[in-house]
Amino acid sequence: MAMNLIKTKKRIMRAIPAFLNSIIKLAVVLFILFPFYWMIITSFKPYAETILMPPTFWPKTFTLSAYTSIFNEMNLGIYLKNSIIITLAIIALQIPIMVPAAYAFAKYKFPGHKLMFGIVLVAFMIPGQVTFIPVYFLMARLGILNTLLPQILPFGANAFGIFLLRQNFMQIPDEIIEAARLDNASELKIMFRLMLPMSKATMITLAMFSFISHWNSYFWPLVMTQSEKVRPLTIAIEKLKDVELGISWNILMAGNVLLVFPIIIIFMFASKKIVRAFAYKGMK
């Protein structure tokens, strides 16, 4: 009996930390999810309810008016199309530039490779705010300000991507590459058929990071665009605020839902790969 009591006591003592652990985790999850929840329910409220004090945690009157007014008043299709083209084009442009560069830095010893890699690192330390004026003038002189190119071309080389991919390639043993060379595989084949599949998790992570940062990018397109037809979704959201009108929270939040929706979907599919890309590093 006494033994049993001690055993249960021990079990309880052991369960308490696990229980606390779960509680804390749950609290963190709620803390992170709440703004998203708030954004979504606000987008379904009428304006009067969004400013109600005390606030309602579930829409009393459920309405799609915010969404209909966004779709009716704005050419949302154009902005959405631009956002998609820009982000996908950037990713498509980055891969053929990033992979050979990372491969060369990881596996070749050529004169000046350390200096050149240093330059790549420097590139990723310089903030965009330093370069935007010269880049803007460059684009203006090239006469391409009214196209999507100023939002795509400057991001063709992703310094952070080259760095991350190089670290990943360095972990792949040279023997595998040599074996492939013995089988007469070309360097291109080695890069894209051998190295790339072995760094899938890193590639997906990089594509994700690129996607999120360019999808959410506000400052760069604000500077580089001056007409509606080349503007991405982020700038369109800004238009939902007006000097005299103030902020219509439901409309603004509906815009934000549309803006973050693709990111949430992609993240749900890719999150495991991202964790793996970083965990892999830790094992080395």
Partner 1 sequence: MKRRILALVLCWIMVMSMVMACSGPSEKDVTTDVTKNATTGEEQKKTKEVPASVTEPITIEIWHPRGAGQNGDMIAASVEEFNRTNKFGITVVEVFQGGYPVTLTKTMQAISAGTQPALVVLERAAGVPVMAEQDVLLDMTPYIERDNFDMDNFLQVLLGYSYYNDEIISLPYIRSTPVFYYNKSLFEKAGYTEPPKTFTELEEIGKKLVADGLCEYGFELLNDPAWFVQNLMYQLGSNMLSEDGLSAPCLEDGALLSVLTSWRKWVDDGWCAPFVSTSAESAMKEQFYQGNLASFVASSGGLANIINNSVDFELGVSYFPTLSDITSAPTGGGNIAIVERGNDEQTLAAAWEFVKFLMSDEQVALNAANTGYLPITYSSATSQVLIDQWKEQPLYKVAYDQLEVAQELPWSGYKADFEELLKEYCSYVIQDQSQTPEEAVEQIKLNSYAIFPLK
Residues making contact with partner 1 (CB under 8 A): 47-48, 51-53, 73-74, 114, 118, 121-122, 125-127, 129-130, 133, 136-137, 140-141, 145, 222-223, 226-228, 238-248, 251
> Smallest gap, in angstroms, from Cβ of residue 239 to partner 1?
5
The closest of 224, 185, 209, 195 to 263, measured between CA atoms, is 209
> Smallest gap, in angstroms, from Cβ of residue 137 to partner 1?
6
CA distance 232 to 214: 10
Closer residue to partner 1 in complex, CB, 211/220: 220
Give the Cβ contact number of residue 218 at 10 Å. 13
The closest of 208, 209, 210, 201 to 273, measured between CA atoms, is 201
CA distance 155 to 97: 11
> Smallest gap, in angstroms, from Cβ of residue 5 to partner 1?
58
Closer residue to partner 1 in complex, CB, 48/188: 48
- Helix (H) / strand (E) element for 131: namely helix 128-142
Token digits for 135? Answer: 């880049």
Cα 94–Cα 264–Cα 167 angle in degrees, nearest 5: 40
> Smallest gap, in angstroms, from Cβ of residue 117 to partner 1?
10
Closer residue to partner 1 in complex, CB, 64/179: 64
> Smallest gap, in angstroms, from Cβ of residue 16 to partner 1?
42
> Smallest gap, in angstroms, from Cβ of residue 21 to partner 1?
36
The closest of 94, 160, 157 to 121, measured between CA atoms, is 160
Q: What is the DSSP letter of 230?
A: G
CA distance 162 to 168: 10
